[in-house]
């Protein structure tokens, strides 16, 4: 199936893309080639072929989610540059340009 340069320009307009004439010609050829490949795939006889989402079995390789002890608050704040009332003290960045 051939994609015309008119079609490429229309899609570029919808996507708010500025394309040169060379880019339009190149994309028309590339998209036509892609659709030709899709046409070849659609022509295959796939009766009796089970649909798959993955070519290989998928298994979860992550560790079990187990509750484990974490850092104590004192240990977590031990190397903080500044801490107050059991929390990290960080510089204010939101609204800082307003002088507030």
pLDDT score of 51:
82
pLDDT score of 96:
58
pLDDT score of 31:
95
pLDDT score of 93:
81
Domain holding 35, by residue range, is 5-42
87 in any annotated domain: no
23 in any annotated domain: yes
C-alpha distances out from residue 8 to 4, 13, 60, Å: 7, 9, 42
Domain count, the chain: 1
Q: Rounded CA gap, 22 and 18, in Å?
A: 12
27 in any annotated domain: yes
CATH of the domain at 23: 1.10.20
pLDDT score of 89:
94
75 in any annotated domain: no
What number of residues does the chain have? Answer: 100
82 in any annotated domain: no
pLDDT score of 97:
61
pLDDT score of 40:
94
Write out residues in the chain with pLDDT < 70, as ranges.
96-100
């Amino acid at each position: 199936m051939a994609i015309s340069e008119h079609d490429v320009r229309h899609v570029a307009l919808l996507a708010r893309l500025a394309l040169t004439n060379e880019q339009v010609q190149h994309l028309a050829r590339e998209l036509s080639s892609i659709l030709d490949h899709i046409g070849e795939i659609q022509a295959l006889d796939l009766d009796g072929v089970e649909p798959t989402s993955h070519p290989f079995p998928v298994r979860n390789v992550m560790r079990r989610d187990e509750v484990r002890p974490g850092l104590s608050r004192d240990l977590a704040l031990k190397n903080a540059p500044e801490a107050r009332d059991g929390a990290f003290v960080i510089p204010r960045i939101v609204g800082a340009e307003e002088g507030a």
